[in-house]
Chain A
């Protein structure tokens, strides 16, 4: 054993197992609440990461799609648009060609059958010289006579950022609420564990275990509850993440490669559970046992 005394670890783990078994309902409630909190936390992080990712992608786009007003040919707008300051180039996009391109992407016969071949109008792909100046150039394009709808990725990115900000504010409140509830539940479970072990604690004090030595047992117990919750939440999160990614890939195939993997968030979920539980266990044992060695 390399000279290290592993017996305290062994005894701590054994006592923690006994403590969890003795307090099984409080322990289960703690695990359920911690798991839900972590799932919510992980889901929030993942959703937010994806929104930001898509928004960033859109923001980097330099292309603006311009449709002509009704009764006007898109091709006729090509030269006026080339003359707009900040426009690097203009290219005609054939609506039928777009239809042909989307067919394999969406892949669904039902979907394609629902759309006639002339569903997409001809348009112009306008390339901006500087994406940072996008808003001003798009305003100039909109001012050109005969220009109808203008689709610009950066505009959509702003919408996504707004959603992300709203999600962060609402999600923050919700998650803080769950964190507090999970913390209180862990604290209650640990207080019950302390009460159930009143005699053991007295004996430990009598034979000379330091206050930190006594607290270690409760910290190990809360850590195990947190770890178990994290693993459970991580497994459910990964499974749900794969299912959601699969669903998005089926619905919007071109997005599938752009999404943040749930694996990017799993580390935070696995780390947060034990930390949260340790805080609860630490507070409960501090209140019951203290740290002074008198």
Chain B
């Protein structure tokens, strides 16, 4: 269930409107600026231009790129590019963010920054963040609910504990 809707019953496009998705590879449009990359996610859903502008500016501030909106992806560091991708995932104010190894290609400093942003989004916007990672240290550091998957099956689901010490539940 997302936002009270059964995910098995709603069309894929409708479901994805309530979700923001972040990948390990940033998947940015090379010929569009950071601002345009973020705005595009809203434009394709037919949001009026004035609203797109204000919301994109707001999201750029949130991801710490307020002064770099005009830059092309090639002019940004890897961490900054990932923040643009996060901004794009946030532009439509999703109820759920799916982050698939979002820090996989980032250095520790940028990893910290990405984690801070996602934490802030979770706290301030009550957005659920589903963060997939292989990095034990990140899981241990976040101290959140941890669902462990092995061979496509859930092998443990524990709240607030370390991954290493999580109680294993059979499913």
Contact = CB atoms under 8 A, between A and B. Distances in A.
Interface stretch (A55-63, A198-206, A253-261): A198-206
Interface residues of B, number: 25
Nearest to A202: B27
Nearest to B26: A199
A209 B29 contact: no
A2 interface: no
A100 interface: no
A203 B16 contact: no
Please indicate which of the listed interface residues B11, B28, B44, B88 has the most CB atoms of chain A within 10 Å of its own CB.
B44
Contacts of B28: 199
Interface in A185-218: 199-200, 202-211, 213
A271 to B, nearest CB: 29
A11 interface: yes
Contacts of A207: 16-17, 41, 44-45, 92
Nearest to A14: B43
A206 B13 CA distance: 8
Contacts of B88: 203
Instruction: Give the most central of B15, B30, B40: most A CB within 10 Å.
Output: B40
B49 interface: yes
A5 B41 contact: no
Contacts of A203: 27, 29, 40-41, 44, 88
B150 interface: no
Contacts of B45: 207-209
A208 B16 contact: yes
Contact of B13 (A5, A202, A208): A208
